[in-house]
Structures are given as C-alpha cells and as structure tokens.
Amino acid sequence: MNDINTLVSPPRAEGQSGRSGTVPITVAYGDGIGPEIMEASLRVLMAGGADIAPETITIGEQLYLSGNTAGIDPGAWESLRRTRVFYKAPITTPQGGGYKSLNVTVRKTLGLYANIRPCRSYAPFVSTRHPGMDLVIVRENEEDLYAGIEHRQTDDVYQCLKLISRPGCEKINRYAFAYAQAYGRKKVTCFTKDNIMKLTDGLFHKVFREVAEAYPDIENEHWIIDIGAAKLADTPEAFDVLVMPNLYGDVLSDVAAQIAGSVGLAPSANIGEHCAMFEAIHGSAPRRAGKNSANPSGLLLAGVMMLVHIGQPEAAARVHNAWLRTIEDGIHTDDIFKPGVSKERVSTSAFADAVIARMGLTPVHLDSVAYTASGEAFPVPTASPRKPAVKELVGVDIFVHSTQPVEEIARRMQATITGGYELAMITNRGVKVWPQGLPETFCTDHWRCRFLAQPGQSFNPAMVVELLRRLTLSGVDFVKTEHLFTFDGEPGFSLGQGQ
Ligand code: NAD
C-alpha cells in the first residue's frame, strides 16, 4: 500500500471552506531543527497547491525559558481552538526545572486520543533490512504513564501513576479497527504487558478483544509487548495495524520508523473528536539545529496527512507523489544518504527545492498515490455509555515510610486495628514480605500495609479515617492510602507478588 493512510472525518472549523476557500491552520515552527524543516515543508505544501492560511504561534523553548513552565500561552490556545488544525514542528522540552512536555499537554488538552504513525520502507531507494515493511502504529495518546502524576513518597521511593480508562481503551481500539477497515488493512495486532499489569494492560487487552468481535473480517492477534517488540524489530513485514498503550507506542514507533529507513521519514497524525495535530514523530534534534541538514520528510508527510484531513486530496497526492519521485531519484538528506543507493546528498532546503521541481510528476518504480476521499473515511470513534458497577469498599492499602524491620511495622499496624478487619499482608515494592517473607528480599523504606474486612464483616470510609487517626497518634508516617473496592463483586485491586 503506498498511501500514508490517515484519517477520519475532520472536525471542520467555523467558516472553514475546504478546497474553495483558504483554510486557516495553526502553525508552530518549534525548536532545534523545527524552523528549518517547517519552512521547507510549508514551501513544498504551498507549491503543491495547498489552500491553507497558516497562523503562526510561538510555543516551546522560548516560552519555557521565559518562565512559562507550560510552554504555551493563552493566545495560542485561542488559535488552536478556532482553527482546530495544528501543524507543529518538534519542540525541545528543557530537562528538569519542572517543565511539562508541551506535546503531551497539547494532545491531552485538545483530546487528541489517537496517534497514527505510518512506518513503511521505500526499498530499494532508501536502505533498509525490511523492504516489505508497511505498518501503521495506532498509539493511545492521552493515558498510561503520560498522566504525568509522579510523587516522591519516601527517602528512597518515587512513583509514577499509570492510568488506563475504559473509555480510553474503547476509543483507541475502535479507532484501530475502523482505520483498518477503512483502508483495507487485513490485521490488527495489540501489544500489552497484561501478564504483569493485569488490571491496566489487562483492560486494554480485554477491550481489544471486545472490539475485535465487531470486525470478523479483520484478523486480530495479541502479543505480550516484550516478544511483540522483538518480532516487530525482526520481521516488521508480519505486521499491519498495531494498537497499543501510550508508552509502548511511543517507543516502538521510533523503532519502526528507524528500521524502515530513518526516524526522519515518519509522519504522525494526532486525532481527536474536535481537533487534529500533525507532526513528525521525531524530536527537535538539537545537535543538527542550524545546519540545514535535517530531513524534512516526516513533517512534510504529516502535512500531506493534514491536507487529506482538511479536504484537499489532490494537493496531498501531488505533494506526496513529487516526494516519492524525489526519494526514488536518489536525492537524499544526510540521514538516509548511502553511497551506491543515493545519488545526491542534499541539505534540508535543497531537498525541498528538489520536491518542488518534481511537482506534477509521479514515481516510476514506487506506487504512486491517489487520495480520493476528502477526509471522510470514518467518523472519530467515541466511547459508549456504561451502567456504573456496584462498588463496595472492602479494605484499604496504607503506604508507610519506615526504616524499621517489617515485624515491628506489622506489630504497630496490628496495635491500631479496632475490629472487623485485619492486617492481611505487608509488601515492599509489591513483593509480600509479611507474613512469611524471605530474608533474601531486598526492602526499601516504602511499605504497603493491606487491611481487609474480615469474612462477613463490612468495611466503610469511617473505619479508614479512624485507622489513620490512630496511626497518626502512634507516630506512623503514612504517605498514601488506596481504597480497595470490588466492582460487581470482582476485586478492583491486584494481589501482592507471592501472596
Ligand atoms: P530526536 O528525535 O530529536 O533525535 C534523535 C536522533 O534522530 C538524533 O540523532 C537526531 O539527529 C536524529 N533525527 C531526528 N530527526 C531527524 C531528522 N528530521 N533528520 C535527520 N536526523 C534526525 O530525539 P531526542 O534527541 O531524544 O530529543 C531531542 C528533543 O526533542 C528533546 O527535548 C525531546 O524532548 C524533544 N522531542 C520532541 C518531540 C516533539 O516535539 N514531538 C518528540 C520527541 C522528542
């Protein structure tokens, strides 16, 4: 397949007139190589007949360093909410200093839940070990460890919350299957680590299976992420559409892009119910900045996806075909230049000139592209409403900061119990260490003490409050509590390892 299959029905802005008018889009030139590749990409898109009216916003490093830890200001949000289409070059997230990733902020604030990352090879014109590779990674874009909720809880222990929701799983899995159906793809593969994270990744896998049932004509399979990633790196041609939680999708799409030829070649579309954002998958490559040597292809092809999205398929195809012809003619930037394969090593701007010079031409060897849809391939999936489960409180996990031996911690915990519930276990970094722990287990200063209602007894929040009051009085340094519920009788919490 030679298209770069994006899309879904575009959320059209007020007054946005598709091909007949001039379509406002919000553009950010970004940091590092961003300005160079954005300038090159916009020049090519315009030369290809894109009917767009870019509105430039400033985001990223410049704002971060002026003290704006979000990296974006209110005026930029106004433009984004009005145009609902964002063409964005990569930005640099300064290390440390409390700066939050602007990419994550934009994706989550605008509800861009689906990150579509096509990765294909262009053999024999771009060197790769995987000439038959043509896959699309559909990465969940809002949840998982990207909730960014992190805490330091003790001297030794830090935590990051992994949040996975049923609506989030439904939307992304539906998107993956709807995408596969709309673009004639044959198989959807899910990667999770649900042998370990049985509740969070377990939910993702479960919803994948539920959604797959509605698509009997599309093959489906699931791999545990570790062996799945190994297979992806070894035989990427065995995959078609892949759907996975946020972090796995982030990592594996870089791997997939790189083994296809270069991380500099891969575009991405971030799709939500209201807005869409188009960007390269790579970062701001600060070491290449200002050298006019970066490959603008990822951002340019993201621009092609954007043109399809806003209903300009002819311009999209013209640009894409001219780009394919340029690649085929061996006009290559540094990252993909290979003696014997490439013909001419060119700069970022010279590559853009070469694509513009080929505008109107189609590739001779690679399949040419024709976009006929005006971005109406399928509606953006939403989550279905669900009846709330019957939820019952059955206990509480209390996390404690202590350097005392576990027997002493257990003794102090048991001394605070008022009746109707018991200390069921103590774990250290998830491993059960009381009762009957092993001396070999390495323990930190962070303990989870699980209190559970005794059989036939009920448990309620007032008992948690009383327990915490008594712990405070006895000088126990508790750092967090986590309520233990059953939902329709099913435990909503995992066991301790070794329990
Ligand atoms: P990177 O993707 O910027 O660079 C990784 C490697 O790929 C480097 O060797 C770089 O030279 C090369 N590379 C990347 N794009 C290229 C291109 N177009 N042409 C040629 N070579 C290219 O990743 P990084 O170094 O880990 O991150 C740099 C900065 O980018 C960080 O601040 C990071 O937070 C940010 N980042 C931003 C985005 C985004 O804005 N969407 C995504 C990822 C990383």
301 CB near ligand 1 (under 6 Å): no
User: Which of 263, 327, 348 most suits a substitution to test ligand 1, by most atoms within 8 Å of the C-beta?
Assistant: 263
What is the number of the ligand 1 atom nearest to the C-alpha of 91? 40
pTM equals 0.91
Could you report the per-residue pLDDT of 249-265, keeping only the tens digit for each?
Answer: 999 999 999 999 999 99
What is the number of the ligand 1 atom nearest to the C-alpha of 335? 20
Residue range(s) of every CATH 3.30.70.1570 domain in the chain: 391-491
Residue 392 pairs with which residues in a beta bridge?
A: 486
In this structure, how many other beta carbons lie within 10 angstroms of the beta carbon of residue 473? 9
Q: Residue whose CA is closest, atom 30 of ligand 1?
A: 283
Among the listed residues 193, 167, 302, 301, the one whose alpha carbon sits nearest the alpha carbon of residue 247? 193
What is the number of the ligand 1 atom nearest to the C-alpha of 92? 32
CB 31 within 8 A of CB 61: yes
What φ, ψ does residue 490 adopt, rounded to 5°? Answer: -90, 130
92 CB near ligand 1 (under 6 Å): yes
To which CATH superfamily is domain 4-357 assigned? Answer: Isopropylmalate Dehydrogenase (3.40.718.10)
In this structure, how many other beta carbons lie within 10 angstroms of the beta carbon of residue 343? 13
Q: What is the dihedral of CA 61, 67, 72, 76, to 10 degrees?
A: -110
> CA–CA separation, 251 vs 117, rounded Å?
12
Could you report the per-residue pLDDT of 7-51, keeping only the tens digit for each?
Answer: 444 434 343 433 344 999 999 999 999 999 999 999 999 999 999
Architecture of domain 391-491 in this structure: 2-Layer Sandwich (3.30)
Spell out the SS3 assignment of the chain.
Answer: CCCCCCCCCCCCCCCCCHHHCCEEEEEECCCCCHHHHHHHHHHHHHHCCCCEEEEECCCCHHHHHCCCCCCCCHHHHHHHHHHCEEEECCCCCCCCCCCCCHHHHHHHHCCCCEEEEEEECCCCCCCCCCCCCEEEEEEECCCEHHHCCEEECCCCCEEECCECCHHHHHHHHHHHHHHHHHCCCCEEEEEECCCCCCCHHHHHHHHHHHHHHCCCCCEEEEEEHHHHHHHHHHCHHHCCEEEECHHHHHHHHHHHHHHHCCHHHCEEEEECCCCEEEEECCCCCHHHCCCCCCCCHHHHHHHHHHHHHCCCHHHHHHHHHHHHHHHHCCEEEHHHCCECCECEEECHHHHHHHHHHCCCCCCCCCCCCCCCCCCCCCCCCCCCCCCCCCEEEEEEEEEEECCCCHHHHHHHHHHHCCCCEEEEEEEECCEEEECCCCCCCCCCCEEEEEEEECCCCCCCHHHHHHHHHHHHHCCCCEEEEEEEEEECCEECCCCCECC
Could you report the per-residue pLDDT of 139-181, keeping only the tens digit for each?
Answer: 999 999 988 899 999 999 999 999 999 999 999 999 999 999 9
Could you report the per-residue pLDDT of 387-443, keeping only the tens digit for each?
Answer: 999 999 999 999 999 999 999 999 999 999 988 999 999 999 999 999 999 999 999
268 CB near ligand 1 (under 6 Å): no
Residue range(s) of every CATH 3.40.718.10 domain in the chain: 4-357
What is the number of the ligand 1 atom nearest to the C-alpha of 95? 32
Q: What is the pLDDT of residue 14?
A: 40
pLDDT above 60 (res 133)? yes
34 CB near ligand 1 (under 6 Å): no
Cα–ligand 1 centroid distance for 101 (angstroms): 14
Cα–ligand 1 centroid distance for 270 (angstroms): 18
> CA–CA separation, 33 vs 289, rounded Å?
4
Give per-residue burial for 363-393: e unless 16+ CB within 10 Å, then b. beebeebebebbbebbebbebeeeeeeeebb
Could you report the per-residue pLDDT of 346-401, keeping only the tens digit for each?
Answer: 999 999 999 999 999 999 999 999 987 655 568 889 898 889 999 999 999 999 99
Residue 428 pairs with which residues in a beta bridge?
A: 431, 447
